[in-house]
Amino acid sequence: MKMRVLALFALMGIATTGFAAAPGKAQQIAEGEKLYKYWCSGCHGPGIGQNGAPYLPGETALRAKYKGAVPGLLHERTDLTPEFVKLFVRQGITIMPFFRKTEIDDQQFDAIAAYLTRKSKTK
Amino acid sequence: MATLPAGVSAADFNAAITKFKAAVGEKHVFTSDEDVALYRDAYSPMWGTPQELLASAAVAPDTVEQVQAIVRAANEHKIPLYPISTGKNVGYGGSAPNLHGSVVLDLKRMNRILEVDDRRGFALVEPGVAYFDLYRHIQEKKLKVWIDCPDPGWGSLIGNSLDHGVGYTFGAFRDHFGSHCGMEVVLPNGEIMRTGMGALPGSKTWQDYKYGFGPYVDGLFGQGNFGIVTKMGFWLMPEPEAYQSGYVSVPKRHDIIALVDHVNYLEHIGLIGQPNYSSPLGRTQRNEPDLRALVGKAGGPSDEELDRFGAAKGIPSWEVELQFYGPAKTVAANWEYARERIGASIPGSTFRDGHSYRFPMTDEQKAAVEHKVAVGIPAMSIFSIGARSELNPSPTDGHLWFAPIIPKTGEAILESQRAFAKVYQEFGLNVGGIFQTPATWIYRAFVMIVGMPVSRSNKEINAKSMAAFKRVVEVAAEHGWAEYRSPPAFADLVADSYSYNDHALRRFNEQLKDAVDPNGIIAAGRGGIWPRHLRGGRKA
């Protein structure tokens, strides 16, 4: 039955990742979540900022940039694509520097992108 | 096509790259434009100009033996190497070299925590270990020690200490180079040396006693270019029972003089950790147009005018947060003593309690701590300063840290505020000013640090910051002050201000450089020290 549903989704062109990730994909997303927490959540995770500021700097910046149009926390976004994430990881933005491949290699980047785009409506 | 190091032929460069690949594996040698671009200094004031300091390639070893093989190949082909640890020294150069065309030796993969002893209080780590990594290790093992963190926790213990980085708890631990004990170094000839007690085969005290026997050479490897540090020991603070902070406010501008003397006493006798100075009067500028007008008037306001304004509004000139660590009973008694001592001496001083914590903390308690590094928890929240926000809708693309050391006195604060403010005003930079208070990381001196803006798209901003930086270094030197740390673009300028007796110190360092690293392959230009064949290109 499950296979039939998946096949139906495939025929309809609906990405199944957000519903029930395949085992390999699920593992990649889980790995991506770990890597995201290690490399990104210091600025982009939930929590208070410097001297009790209401949010950490990444959330503060994205709230100021998008003014509520999208969530301030990246892992809650549903509009991200791997290409968009790559732009910031490899080129940085304002005071956020970019990351070298000895920090986040291509495979690890793919895992982070899989995690951040797991809820995305556009693939 | 790679940016070749000056004076190196393509044949030699390619031969060296082949040997680097043989040493570490092809995957860990980076030569494509896309990969090498990740070694640019994200905060470079020379971004996108012909002057930008770029790497030619990068090589990332995993073991000390691989570092040795790389150094030997670099010597053979005269390839300049630039070692980095985690490469996150943003504002002071990031992962880019001082010498254009150097091959970055990226030590991030060497990330082993070799030992943590919470009875003797030390850790032994490799260069790729970040403060976050050591903190997690200590928490997982439930060890009863703290680390002293710099602001961003992604930095390397080794890299930070080698750039004379600093932190936030007790003075002895805040000096990260000063609190190291023992190094392993790959010398420019590829040999491994261990310093201090580490020079004794089978030593049981490498991380307990710094000096060993004979000259203490560790200092050569901080802001220097005499070798590649592959292991380093650090002393750790015992986890205290309690933390209490308290705030002291004093009304008048010149009260800062007596206040600093009292706080110095409390700190140097061991009663407090890092004191945090600020100016309540300065903080009100945003909401007080009359104060802004007073500050902006030609020639600036006198201290008396500012005192009158503060008195009329009931706003103190200065405040300091005192931070007490230790048993709960003595922490409370020390805060009481500080109140009595300062209250009896400075008329109009006022006091209020700050934060109070007990250790160990739960995860929820840790999450609620506003200034995490003050209790040894690494964080990234410092990026709140400078990141986009409602109050800062158009952030810069980074900053250059101008970090001059001044004496630890109130007089020096007042003098340096006005001396530096004049330069910043002249260049139209919105930094510093007459309410600026010092950074207090360094145990026995103040740092009047400011971040000058940089932009990846607006070269005028960069040109202005660079011109202001050059001028303010000169002004500092005229007053007997100089920087403790510098972005690569200004290393020569800063080193040039340390010119006593016709640059005797630099001449001595370069004499050593010639002896130890005759091919000049290690971090040319770092600390303003150049190998013989490149001295003609010195920027100052």
Q: Using an 8 Å Cβ cutoff, are B138 and B125 in contact?
A: no
Task: Determine, yes or no, domain membership for A61.
Answer: yes
Same structural domain for residues B121 and B199? yes
Structural domain of residue A61, as residue ranges?
Answer: 22-116
- Which pLDDT value is given to residue A20? 58
Q: What is the mean pLDDT of residues B516-535?
A: 97
Task: Determine, yes or no, domain membership for B265.
Answer: yes
Same structural domain for residues B117 and B92? no
Query: Within an 8 Å CB–CB cutoff, is residue B371 touching chain A?
Result: yes
Residue B218: CB atoms within 10 Å: 22
Reading the block at residue B139, the tokens are: 């928490």
ipTM of the complex, rounded to two decimals: 0.94
Nearest to B382, CA basis, from A32, A15, A43, A78: A43
- DSSP for chain A reads -HHHHHHHHHHHT---TTTS--HHHHHHHHHHHHHHHHHTHHHHSSS--GGG-SS-HHHHHHHHHHTTSS-SSGGG-SS--HHHHHHHHHH-BTTB----TTTS-HHHHHHHHHHHTTT-S--
Q: What is the mean pLDDT of residues B505-521?
A: 98
Q: Using an 8 Å Cβ cutoff, are B425 and B475 in contact?
A: no
Reading the block at residue B432, the tokens are: 């510093």
Concerning whether B484 is annotated as a catalytic residue, the answer is yes
Q: What is the mean pLDDT of residues B181-200?
A: 98
Task: Determine, yes or no, domain membership for B14.
Answer: yes
Under DSSP, the state recorded for B194 is: E
Task: Determine, yes or no, domain membership for A74.
Answer: yes
Condensed to tens digits (0 to 9), the pLDDT of residues A84-113 reads 999 999 999 999 999 999 999 999 999 999
* CATH code, domain carrying B50: 3.30.43.10
Return the percentage of chain B with pLDDT > 90, whole number.
Answer: 96
Please indicate whether, in this complex, the C-beta atoms of A58 and B387 are within 8 angstroms of each other.
yes
Same structural domain for residues B250 and B349? yes
Catalytic residue from among B253, B485, B506, B526: B485
Tell me the helices (H) and strands (E) count for chain B, helix number first: 16, 20
Q: How many CA atoms lie within 13 A of B14 on its CB side?
A: 4
Concerning whether B443 is annotated as a catalytic residue, the answer is no
Please indicate whether, in this complex, the C-beta atoms of A64 and B389 are within 8 angstroms of each other.
yes
Q: Please identify, among B201, B220, B238, the residue that sits at the C-terminal boundary of a domain.
A: B238
Closest in A42, A60, A99 to B387, CB measured: A60
Same structural domain for residues B126 and B229? yes
Query: B174: Cβ–Cβ under 8 A, 6 or more apart, which residues?
Result: B148, B166, B167, B168, B273, B274, B441, B442, B443
Measured between beta carbons, the chain A residues lying within 8 angstroms of B87 are 100, 103
Task: Determine, yes or no, domain membership for A11.
Answer: no
pLDDT over 60 at B118, yes or no: yes
Same structural domain for residues B33 and B60? yes
Q: What is the mean pLDDT of residues B229-234?
A: 98
Report the mean per-residue pLDDT for chain B: 96
Task: Determine, yes or no, domain membership for B365.
Answer: no
Same structural domain for residues B437 and B507? no
Q: Which of residues 11-50 of B touch A (CB under 8 A)?
A: 28, 30, 34-35, 38-39, 42-43
Nearest to B489, CA basis, from B159, B92, B161: B92
Residue B7: CB atoms within 10 Å: 11
Task: Determine, yes or no, domain membership for A12.
Answer: no
Query: Total domain count for chain B?
Result: 5
Residue A123: CB atoms within 10 Å: 11
Same structural domain for residues B208 and B290? no
- Which pLDDT value is given to residue A21? 67
Taking CA atoms, what residue in B is nearest to A97? B42
Condensed to tens digits (0 to 9), the pLDDT of residues B52-79 reads 999 999 999 999 999 999 999 999 999 9
Residue type, B428: G
Structural domain of residue B504, as residue ranges?
Answer: 494-537
Query: Within an 8 Å CB–CB cutoff, is residue A48 touching chain B?
Result: yes
pLDDT over 80 at B539, yes or no: no
Reading the block at residue B502, the tokens are: 């016709």
pLDDT over 90 at A4, yes or no: no
Task: Determine, yes or no, domain membership for A98.
Answer: yes
Q: What is the mean pLDDT of residues B130-149?
A: 98
Query: Total domain count for chain A?
Result: 1
Please indicate whether, in this complex, the C-beta atoms of A48 and B390 are within 8 angstroms of each other.
no
**Judging by DSSP bridges, how do beta strands B57-59 and B103-106 pair with one another?**
parallel
Closest in A51, A65, A97 to B370, CB measured: A51
Task: Determine, yes or no, domain membership for A4.
Answer: no
Measured between beta carbons, the chain B residues lying within 8 angstroms of A90 are 34, 38
- Detail the DSSP E strand segments found in B148-227: 180-186, 192-194
How far apart are alpha carbons B222 and B290 in whole angstroms? 47
Q: How many CA atoms lie within 13 A of B179 on its CB side?
A: 26
φ, ψ of residue B405 to 5 degrees: the values are: -85, 130
Please indicate whether, in this complex, the C-beta atoms of A51 and B389 are within 8 angstroms of each other.
no
Q: Using an 8 Å Cβ cutoff, are B103 and B24 in contact?
A: no
Reply yes or no: is the peptide bond before residue B360 cis, omega within 30 of 0: yes
φ, ψ of residue B346 to 5 degrees: the values are: -115, 110
Nearest chain A Cα distance for residue B367, angstroms:
7
Please indicate whether, in this complex, the C-beta atoms of B38 and A58 are within 8 angstroms of each other.
no
Concerning whether B243 is annotated as a catalytic residue, the answer is no
> Tokens 């300063």 label which residue?
B385
Query: Within an 8 Å CB–CB cutoff, is residue A54 touching chain B?
Result: no
Please indicate whether, in this complex, the C-beta atoms of B380 and A43 are within 8 angstroms of each other.
yes
- Which pLDDT value is given to residue B344? 98
- Which pLDDT value is given to residue A2? 42
Condensed to tens digits (0 to 9), the pLDDT of residues A62-89 reads 999 999 999 999 999 999 999 999 999 9
Same structural domain for residues B252 and B306? yes
Under DSSP, the state recorded for B526 is: G
Condensed to tens digits (0 to 9), the pLDDT of residues A33-62 reads 999 999 999 999 999 998 889 999 999 999
Task: Determine, yes or no, domain membership for B61.
Answer: yes
Taking CA atoms, what residue in A is nearest to B368? A48
- DSSP for B462-499 reads HHHHHHHHHHHHHHHHHTT-EESS--GGGHHHHHHH--
Under DSSP, the state recorded for B379 is: B
Residue type, B312: A
- Which pLDDT value is given to residue B84? 98
* CATH code, domain carrying A75: 1.10.760.10
Measured between beta carbons, the chain B residues lying within 8 angstroms of A36 are none
* CATH code, domain carrying B166: 3.30.465.10
Query: CA quadruple B129, B130, B133, B137: dihedral positive or negative?
Result: positive
How far apart are alpha carbons B420 and B472 in whole angstroms? 7
Nearest to B166, CA basis, from B493, B484, B530, B441: B441
pLDDT over 50 at A10, yes or no: no
Measured between beta carbons, the chain B residues lying within 8 angstroms of A60 are 384, 387-389
Taking CA atoms, what residue in A is nearest to B395? A94
Q: Which of residues 81-120 of A touch B (CB under 8 A)?
A: 90, 92, 94-103
- Which pLDDT value is given to residue B299? 86
How far apart are alpha carbons B395 and B388 in whole angstroms? 5
Task: Determine, yes or no, domain membership for B395.
Answer: no
Q: Which of residues 119-138 of B touch A (CB under 8 A)?
A: 132
Same structural domain for residues B96 and B20? yes
